[in-house]
Chain A
Amino acid sequence: MDLECSRLLPALCAVLVDPRQPVADDTCLEKLLDWFKTVTEGESSLLLLQEHPCLVELLSHVLKLQDLSPGVLSFSLRVAGIFAAQENCFQYLQVGSLLFSQPGGAPGLRLLSAPPFFLSSPAPCPGAVDTIFSLQGDSSLFVASAASQLLVHILALSMRGGAKEQPCLQGDDWPTCAQKIMGHVEESLCSTVTPKVTQALNILTTTFGRCQSPWTEALWVRLSASVACLLERDPIPAAHSLVDLLLCVARSPVFGSSNGSLWEMVAQALSCLGPAHVGPLALGILKLEHCPQALRTQAFQVLLQPLACVLKATVQAPGPLGLLDGMADDAMMVDALLASKSSCAGLLCRTLAHLEELQPLPQRPSPWPQAPLLGAAVTVLRLCDGSATPVSSVGGHLCATLAGCVRVQRAALDFLGMLSQGTSPQELVTQALAVLLECLKSPGSSPTVLKKAFQATLRWLLSSPKTSSCSDLGPHIPQFLRELFLVLQKRLCSPCWEVRDSALEFLTQLSRHWGGEADFRCALLASEVPELAWQLLQDPESYVRASAVTATGQLSSWGLHDPTSPQHAVARQSLLRELLRILSADSEGFPRRAVMQVFTEWLRDGHADVTRDTEQFVATVLQVASRDLDWEVRVQGLELALVFLGQTLGPPHTHCPYAVALPEAAPARPLTEALRALCHVGLFDFAFRALFDCDRPVAQKSCDLLLFLRDKIASYNSLREASPNTDSVEAAPWRWRAHEQTQPQEDQEPEAVLAMLRSLDLEGLQSTLAESSDHVEKSPQSLLQDMLATGGFLQGDEADCY
């Protein structure tokens, strides 16, 4: 603890124990606690207490005071906990009496989670464990959860203290504390009050999750019968917690894969849990690394059941392959599908999400029923858009229930997108694309559904070349794209900005990957999409303008403007001008930032409009960017400058130690000439000004850029040590700092710039900038000062908020 803080601490402790003195809000106490944690990590807690008697006084005072605020009490208990984590301090404070003398002092529970010697301390609190039992049922989630965690901690500690490798199953030789906790858990498991069962299951879940010692096996052997009994009750209590426990035990390395009784219990749970809970259990089982094959098969069947029902209800008998053909429907599952709209939607959403999660995993079941799943996803979407044909009464019911159900539609689209990663028969792929197109076309589709539909379509399109030849999208692509662009045209004119924006994002992504494909180019240019994207540069919504900038920039990179239309030819030429206009005139940051990104990409890729006169382009852009009020635009400006620098002086050095050291490539042009070019485009002016920018990221980026430049120049061995007028060189950076230099200097000489570069302590500046700019305000002194000052301030005023 530094001197200044030591000096302030007694006064602060005095404020805290004085009920008449207002304490700043709880955040201050939390931050103070953080500080104590840091301090005690660095030095001895006992020494700290001895050097600062005010802390001990604070802790002993809070016990005596009646009208202390709960905030300060809770804070004091937690401070006591932090100190008591060291054994000598624990004895020093006799912390046990501090905790349990406070009814409702639940936050202090945490203080017990650290010291292992708590249980072996000479005078353990007799009612401690009972108090914690009762706090498990506290109305506060935080307290209840802390109590449960603490019980696990105490159990683990006492078992570790017992030091028996193979404790006896009856628990006769278990430490008293552990016996007490186990007795409580057993009793709770048999309780008819569900919250009690939940508490017991949560304790067990945390125990098996956290402790992987052999004694946990004995624990499970002892308790598994009580857990199994829960499965025989109707309804099964605390099903959610039960699933968590079963999965946690199954995952524990303590139990070998040959643990037959566990797997039997899991299998029983799979067959008797309700649809809401059985899904997560099945998914959890399928994610396990080791588990009997029969159980995996059962779990997968459970997971597939709802979709199998859907397929059965909608596919004509001699139709394509169904899921789980030949198996009877699970009556509970069918009931859930038919019970109500929300139960049906909930079940389908969960199933789709679980399968989506499973699909990319290496341990997913094999063979993976890709085709029927794709069929099911398509069918669910058809049910939602009302185009499915039911073949049974269940089907009819599903049609009525799911029509227009956005929630299921979104989940199905996500799943459908994920299925693009597998190989599917052509016929089904065509169906998938058709249903996606339907969804995109449908006037009733909500913006969130459209966004998901665009994302899924993109995934299918981009994955298509990877599919094997038999299921290649090949010949269908051009036709599909033609229809797709017709839809896209419509969506680009949507009254919802969300839809226009999603459509533009889709266009950008698609052209980024397919800009060079003839089919794509042909279909795009035959549509009005490029023209519409161009028009959206004027959109009233800034998000859309920004996306339009990115999209048109991407299209332009591929030369995707209709060469036959004179209008478009003009557009191509004037896009640069239009983007410059946006950069200098748009009132919002997003479009300006997007323009800078497009320009940087154009410069990097050698876009035709840029290469025509690169220096002029860079000069203009930097000049506009340097004046921008948005620091992110200025940072982008520096990024563009960095690309230009790389092109002028050669790419950055690779520092890979394993790379074969190649001789340095010959620089593109002589150094002086290159530097002159940099001066000409105003790069130095921009960079030096940015170095003293009031926004830290700009200064940081500029610092990086100048360091790169300095290193690069140093590699030119032929560099002359030019030394112009030293006075003016040293003064120059400070002129930028003081913002005196409002006009860019065009007549800078490379030598002067170099000298200036050398005169700057860039490394020093870099480390200063690495610190966040509020490090002074965040310091402990600042916190203590603020808390002390609050005492005098808050008294007269009302606490305020926004």
Chain B
Amino acid sequence: MPEIRVTPLGAGQDVGRSCILVSIAGKNVMLDCGMHMGFNDDRRFPDFSYITQNGRLTDFLDCVIISHFHLDHCGALPYFSEMVGYDGPIYMTHPTQAICPILLEDYRKIAVDKKGEANFFTSQMIKDCMKKVVAVHLHQTVQVDDELEIKAYYAGHVLGAAMFQIKVGSESVVYTGDYNMTPDRHLGAAWIDKCRPNLLITESTYATTIRDSKRCRERDFLKKVHETVERGGKVLIPVFALGRAQELCILLETFWERMNLKVPIYFSTGLTEKANHYYKLFIPWTNQKIRKTFVQRNMFEFKHIKAFDRAFADNPGPMVVFATPGMLHAGQSLQIFRKWAGNEKNMVIMPGYCVQGTVGHKILSGQRKLEMEGRQVLEVKMQVEYMSFSAHADAKGIMQLVGQAEPESVLLVHGEAKKMEFLKQKIEQELRVSCYMPANGETVTLPTSLSIPVGISLGLLKQEMAQGLLPEAKKPRLLHGTLIMKDSNFRLVSSEQALKELGLAEHQLRFTCRVHLHDTRKEQETALRVYSHLKSILKDHCVQHLPDGSVTVESILIQAAAPSEDPGTKVLLVSWTYQDEELGSFLTSLLKKGLPQALS
């Protein structure tokens, strides 16, 4: 029995370190290869030992697919390909291919600089890994090999994020990665066609939430920034180089323009330029509004946002600074934070998630006295705000996507167990689709129906065409033929061809049926009455009364006979070939009702 098997090595009932193994029709595919930012040792990577025991990785895995550039989806890739030893193809979209190495390099630098980790992947490894990448376009069907094909769909979420359809023969799986069903400032909404996969593997971060409109959060954000700078305070927004940073920049830029504000906004040096470059390069991946206005005004060329220099942090007066990294665990953002933390007029806005141990996590959990290196204690007097700008589909969005794709089953990943449980029930009840939520290391096995390819002879198709009806894609039509199996191939051919190929003679098969009529007249008269009756009803058919007294309708032959024992009853013998089976049955049932009285 063919089956689809799914084993999450990461993202099974948790968020972080996405890595899902899918076996479909004998092909093995790894979906995402992420790292967990919360660990500092090997646990940050998925446990690959469970697949390395299947022999050489490159032989076992047919391909790796990366959904988008966030490190929890691609962070373990150089480790997997250059240190664990996977040497096969890696698929991702063009923007992901461009941005992924920047974030990997950023992360490597922090790991080596701050933590002094020596056993980490190097720049050369990142480059060698990126050389194994095959970039794909949206909606382009890519043949991984003769049997396995993949296709990317737009997912929103971040620049270049994609959902992937994996298909082998008639079996298919769709993996959503992270996606967003509502457009935001810079990206559009996720979309997939009615591809009816056997399985849809979807993220479920906000499985129980109906998120408020992003407009409210945006208004809130702008209000807080505005109030702080109005009273002369400084605002620090720690961000990762690419993604949310650009969305917030567009937001502030537009607001500054509208309000005619003069307070300086800065962005960590080097990054704006790079980010802008990528957004310009991949403009078709942004939302409609940005694409439309691009020619007159490039949304990624900011008038109010300038490059930041270390010395600016000490400048008096208000300012807004976007600095990396986003969790305040190292580098520029932490440096600025240390300078500004002591002043209650200032504010830090954390626009995303922070892992345990980072300064970002500490201040978000309300800690106000932070122990820094050298036994120094940093007192945090500045205001701390948290605003989630992460772009995931909420419960409604997830249901909407499931409805769009019409899968046979759904499998939930990238979410918390409790929330998944809720969504699972909702999907099963409302959409009547079976739903799974395996934990990491747990395998879900789905049986699929066996698919047998059948060839159709040209002759049969031509014969069908000759009937004058042109084929229509949306209207399935029945086609009759003879299925023959020869050399372990199945073919549907016309019966004549089948007879010829198999060297068989045709036997005529007629169905017969007796209908009893109460009629005292002679057989000939009964036959005539039948003839007149049928002639009046079957106007489109050729009804004939033959000289021998029998009646024919197409191939159907009706003869009247008188049983010797009962002169008041006549028996109608009806016979027909299998081609006219429908008509034959119709006539029989018609005659069984008797002949109209008016004629008698």
Q: Is B440 a contact partner of A789 (Cβ separation < 8 A)?
A: no
For chain A, residues 621 to 666, give those with C-beta under 8 angstroms from any C-beta of chain B. Answer: 629, 631-632
Specify which chain A residues have a CB less than 8 angstroms from the CB of B373 in the assembled complex. 773, 775-776
Q: Is A353 a contact partner of B59 (Cβ separation < 8 A)?
A: yes
Q: Is A783 a contact partner of B356 (Cβ separation < 8 A)?
A: yes
For chain B, residues 97 to 150, give those with C-beta under 8 angstroms from any C-beta of chain A. Answer: 101, 105, 109, 112-117, 123, 127, 130-132, 145-147
Q: Is B132 a contact partner of A448 (Cβ separation < 8 A)?
A: yes
Q: Which of A120-128, A312-320, A478-486, A790-798 contacts B (4 or more CB under 8 A)?
A: A790-798
Q: Which of B36-44, B188-196, B529-537 contacts A (4 or more CB under 8 A)?
A: B36-44
Any A CB within 8 A of the CB of B273: yes
The distance in angstroms between the C-alpha atoms of A792 and B270, with both chains bound, is 38
For chain A, residues 738 to 759, give those with C-beta under 8 angstroms from any C-beta of chain B. Answer: 739
Q: Is B115 a contact partner of A447 (Cβ separation < 8 A)?
A: no
Q: Is B365 a contact partner of A786 (Cβ separation < 8 A)?
A: yes
Q: Which of B50-58, B424-432, B563-571, B572-580 contacts A (4 or more CB under 8 A)?
A: B50-58
Q: Is A696 a contact partner of B72 (Cβ separation < 8 A)?
A: no
Specify which chain B residues have a CB less than 8 angstroms from the CB of A346 in the assembled complex. 59
SS of A interface (majority):
helix
Q: Mark B137-167, 1 if CB is under 8 A from A, else 0.
A: 0000000011100000000000000000000
The residue of chain A having its C-beta at the shortest distance from the C-beta of B329 within the complex is A774
Any B CB within 8 A of the CB of A294: no
Minimum CB–CB distance from B94 to chain A (whole Å) comes to: 12
A-B contacts counted at CB < 8 A amount to 175
Minimum CB–CB distance from A623 to chain B (whole Å) comes to: 18
Any A CB within 8 A of the CB of B523: no
Q: Mark A340-363, 1 if CB is under 8 A from B, else 0.
A: 111001100110010000000000
Q: Is A800 a contact partner of B439 (Cβ separation < 8 A)?
A: no
The distance in angstroms between the C-alpha atoms of A799 and B70, with both chains bound, is 17
Any B CB within 8 A of the CB of A731: no
Specify which chain B residues have a CB less than 8 angstroms from the CB of A712 in the assembled complex. none
Contacting residue for A631 out of B56, B58, B89, B109, CB 8 A:
B109
Q: Is A353 a contact partner of B131 (Cβ separation < 8 A)?
A: no
The distance in angstroms between the C-alpha atoms of A773 and B353, with both chains bound, is 22
The distance in angstroms between the C-alpha atoms of A187 and B18, with both chains bound, is 39
Q: Is A777 a contact partner of B132 (Cβ separation < 8 A)?
A: no
Contacting residue for B38 out of A25, A447, A773, CB 8 A:
A25
Q: Is A697 a contact partner of B112 (Cβ separation < 8 A)?
A: yes
Q: Is B352 a contact partner of A776 (Cβ separation < 8 A)?
A: no
**Using a Cβ–Cβ cut-off of 8 Å, how many residues does chain B contribute to the interface with A?**
86
The distance in angstroms between the C-alpha atoms of A410 and B86, with both chains bound, is 13
Q: Mark B340-374, 1 if CB is under 8 A from A, else 0.
A: 00000000000011011111011011110001111
The residue of chain A having its C-beta at the shortest distance from the C-beta of B178 within the complex is A802
Any B CB within 8 A of the CB of A438: no
Minimum CB–CB distance from B551 to chain A (whole Å) comes to: 59
Specify which chain A residues have a CB less than 8 angstroms from the CB of B228 in the assembled complex. none
Q: Is B441 a contact partner of A799 (Cβ separation < 8 A)?
A: no
Specify which chain B residues have a CB less than 8 angstroms from the CB of A143 in the assembled complex. 441
Contacting residue for A783 out of B113, B209, B270, B357, CB 8 A:
B357
Specify which chain B residues have a CB less than 8 angstroms from the CB of A145 in the assembled complex. 50
Specify which chain B residues have a CB less than 8 angstroms from the CB of A141 in the assembled complex. 7, 50, 441-443
Q: Mark A468-485, 1 if CB is under 8 A from B, else 0.
A: 000000000000000000
**Using a Cβ–Cβ cut-off of 8 Å, how many residues does chain A contribute to the interface with B?**
71
Given A26-B14, A801-B16, A802-B352, CB of A350 within 8 Å of CB of B56: yes
Any A CB within 8 A of the CB of B335: yes
Q: Is A799 a contact partner of B87 (Cβ separation < 8 A)?
A: no
Any A CB within 8 A of the CB of B318: no
Any A CB within 8 A of the CB of B183: no
Q: Is B416 a contact partner of A350 (Cβ separation < 8 A)?
A: no
The distance in angstroms between the C-alpha atoms of A70 and B437, with both chains bound, is 15
Specify which chain B residues have a CB less than 8 angstroms from the CB of A739 in the assembled complex. 310
Specify which chain B residues have a CB less than 8 angstroms from the CB of A790 in the assembled complex. 365
The interface centre, meaning the residue of B55, B273, B386 with most chain A CB atoms within 10 A of its CB, is: B55
Any A CB within 8 A of the CB of B388: yes
Q: Is A694 a contact partner of B353 (Cβ separation < 8 A)?
A: no
The distance in angstroms between the C-alpha atoms of A781 and B373, with both chains bound, is 14
Q: Is B209 a contact partner of A798 (Cβ separation < 8 A)?
A: yes
Q: Mark A567-604, 1 if CB is under 8 A from B, else 0.
A: 00000000000000000000111100100000000000
The distance in angstroms between the C-alpha atoms of A498 and B89, with both chains bound, is 14
The distance in angstroms between the C-alpha atoms of A349 and B417, with both chains bound, is 41
The distance in angstroms between the C-alpha atoms of A345 and B329, with both chains bound, is 47
The residue of chain B having its C-beta at the shortest distance from the C-beta of A700 within the complex is B116
Minimum CB–CB distance from B368 to chain A (whole Å) comes to: 10
Minimum CB–CB distance from A621 to chain B (whole Å) comes to: 21
Minimum CB–CB distance from A598 to chain B (whole Å) comes to: 16
Q: Is B72 a contact partner of A28 (Cβ separation < 8 A)?
A: no
Any B CB within 8 A of the CB of A558: no
Q: Mark A29-55, 1 if CB is under 8 A from B, else 0.
A: 011000000000000000000000000
Contacting residue for B270 out of A70, A587, A631, A799, CB 8 A:
A587
Contacting residue for B116 out of A240, A696, A783, CB 8 A:
A696
The distance in angstroms between the C-alpha atoms of A649 and B462, with both chains bound, is 93
Q: Mark A758-791, 1 if CB is under 8 A from B, else 0.
A: 0000000000101011111110011101110110
Q: Is A785 a contact partner of B367 (Cβ separation < 8 A)?
A: yes
Any A CB within 8 A of the CB of B480: no
Q: Is A798 a contact partner of B352 (Cβ separation < 8 A)?
A: no
The distance in angstroms between the C-alpha atoms of A793 and B352, with both chains bound, is 15
**Top 8 closest pairs, chain A to chain B, by CB:** A27-B38, A789-B365, A142-B441, A141-B441, A793-B365, A800-B353, A140-B442, A772-B116
16 example contacts (A-B, Cβ-Cβ < 8 A) are as follows: A26-B14, A27-B36, A28-B356, A140-B443, A353-B59, A407-B145, A448-B132, A590-B123, A629-B269, A697-B113, A768-B374, A772-B117, A774-B357, A786-B365, A801-B390, A802-B390
